[in-house]
Structure 1
Amino acid sequence: MKVITETPRLIIREFTLEDAPAVLHFNTPEQVNRYTGDAGVCTRLQDAENIIRDIWLVEYQQYGFGRWAVVLKDNNTVIGFCGFKNEIRINAIDIGYRLHPDYWGIGLATEANKACIEYANKHMNLDIVYADVADANSGSINVATKLGMTYHSQYQDGELTFNRYVMSFNNN
């Protein structure tokens, strides 16, 4: 398993199939998927295995990046994902995260994604990154702004209104 980066509290690494129970666990609470548009996609262990094998592992091979596991250093527990996705529907790179609600509100999403941005600045050739956040999701709006992202535009997707945030990278 490839470690991407570390923070004082977290290890950011690639997912493996052994992470399937954790992926199921952090996707199960209803409030986790309230604003994601993929509620009900991961309700069984087989769903979690499919996401890891058919999406994340494929993206690591195809692009060299994808959503990465967020692991607590204290107990080596996978509590969610963070990082980048080559988002085909917007033809651009998206930064995002998902954490189990037990770990909300203590700065871990910001910490994890700041580490991803620092990693990208050093090791990836990104020009611009987007984050789409439901306008009702004030917690994720706060994370996007703490990352230094700026409001770009707004769009409607089904019943949800999304704010698109943007960040430009300095490729030195």
Structure 2
Amino acid sequence: MIIAETERLRLRHFRKSDAEFIYQLYNQPSFIKYIGDRGIHSVQDAEAFISKVEDNYQQFGFWLYLVEDKETRQPLGVNGLIQRDYLDAPDIGFALIPEYCGKGFAKESSLAVIDFAMTLGIPHIYAITIHDNIASQKLLLSLNFTFNREEFLDDSTEPTLVYLLTFS
């Protein structure tokens, strides 16, 4: 199911056939450094992850989506909304294969996710990142998120920066 299309991108629900890509993305050194090890250490782990994502689509009406090139259908990364137990609204989460970073794909796909969130009637969304992830912080500010607070979230040993985007 396609949830958004932009000039260059398509955001769609994950499919089982995306497991190899998810495995590769979630094991990129930059992904592990800035987002963390999500326990996807094999293609089978990625398949199980995709099954959980499919359940979350049903439970919440949103979750992460595959970001692909609209013309070639080449997967570039993921972007979407995640409802965490410790936040009162979903947060936007995104990651790209490093070769696609710096080309505007994260911003383009994030704008599509923000538009989608607005159609769901969500009053605001969060974004979380770590101090070292300067690129994500700059992107969030360019998307009109504002710094909200610094907090130790989800049993983290280092503080997380929490940003907020309120829809008016």
TM-score by length of 1: 0.90
The C-alpha deviation readout for 1:93-134, integer Å capped at 9, x for no partner, is 11110111111111111110101112222x211011111110
Gaps of 5+ in 2: none
**Aligned-pair identity (%):** 28
Give the Cα–Cα distance (whole angstroms) in 2 for the partners of residues 35 and 166 of structure 1. Answer: 19
- 1:17 paired with 2:16, answer yes
CA deviation after TM superposition for structure 1 residue 78, in Å: 1.6
SS state of the match for residue 160, structure 1? coil
Q: How far off is 1:169 after superposition? A: 1.4
- Measured in 2, the distance between the counterparts of 1:160 and 1:21 equals 31
Q: How many residues align?
A: 166
Give the distance between the partners of 2:158 and 2:35, measured in 1 at CA. 9
Residues 40 and 66 from structure 1, CA distance in 2 versus in 1: closer, same or farther, beyond 3 angstroms? closer
1:159 offset after TM fit, Å? 4.0
- Map 1:13-162; keep pairs closer than 5 Å: 13-37=12-36, 39=37, 41-54=39-52, 56-121=53-118, 123-156=119-152, 158-162=156-160
Cα deviation code 1:57-90 (max 9, x no counterpart): 0111111111111011232112211011111132
**Gaps spanning 5+ residues in structure 1: where?**
none
CA distance in 2 between partners of 1:129 and 1:119 (Å): 11
> Where does structure 1 differ by over 6 angstroms across 4 or more consecutive aligned residues?
none
TM-score, scaled to structure 2: 0.92
For residues 72 and 20 of structure 2, what CA distance do their matches in structure 1 show?
16
